[in-house]
Amino acid sequence: MVLDQVELAVVAVRVADLDRAVAWYADKLGMTPLHRGADGDTPPYAVYDVGGMVITVWQLWPGQRRSADENDRNSYLILVSAGDVDALHDRLVATGVRADPVRHSANNTFFWFYDLDDNRWEVSQPTTAEQRAAADEILAR
């Protein structure tokens, strides 16, 4: 495969104010950065490990903002859960996280929630044997 030499994959989430975002992620999601820094003269970032996925929360340039209107056209994070999706949804909502209702598709139970900058995060749980087997295959690697 072309990407055989890749050692690590990282998802970047853009935020307006890194300090506010780090505080929000800690307060609402219980996340603690593994590292904070900057890459030369770029805005600062914080790095997290969530279920083995590296998430970099990277501050936008001054004056730039994300728009929730773009969420249907932008990439977003999907977190596959083995736990009770309804209970996790309720816990997030109870802490003040904006979340859409839990939905059911042909293969998954899922919901979307949003951070301070309206970045969309999805919590999803496979509901069919085929989808669960696909997730288990990746986890076994």
The domain in which residue 80 lies consists of: 66-141
Residue 130: Cβ within 10 Å count = 8
Quick: pLDDT tens for 7-66.
888 999 999 999 999 999 999 999 999 999 998 899 999 999 998 899 999 999 998 888
* Burial track 78-101 (b if 16+ CB lie within 10 A, e otherwise): ebbeeeebeebbeebeeeebebee
Of 42, 63, 84, the domain-final residue: 63
Residue 71 and residue 41 share a domain: no
Q: What is the mean pLDDT of the chain?
A: 92
Closest to 13 in 3D by CA, of 51, 63, 50, 52: 50
Residue 54 and residue 15 share a domain: yes
Residue 141 and residue 98 share a domain: yes
* Burial track 55-67 (b if 16+ CB lie within 10 A, e otherwise): bbbbbeeeeeebe
Residue 127: Cβ within 10 Å count = 15
Q: What is the CATH number of the domain that holds 8?
A: 3.10.180.10
Of 32, 63, 94, the domain-final residue: 63
pLDDT at 8: 84
pTM here is 0.87
Number of compact structural domains in the chain: 2
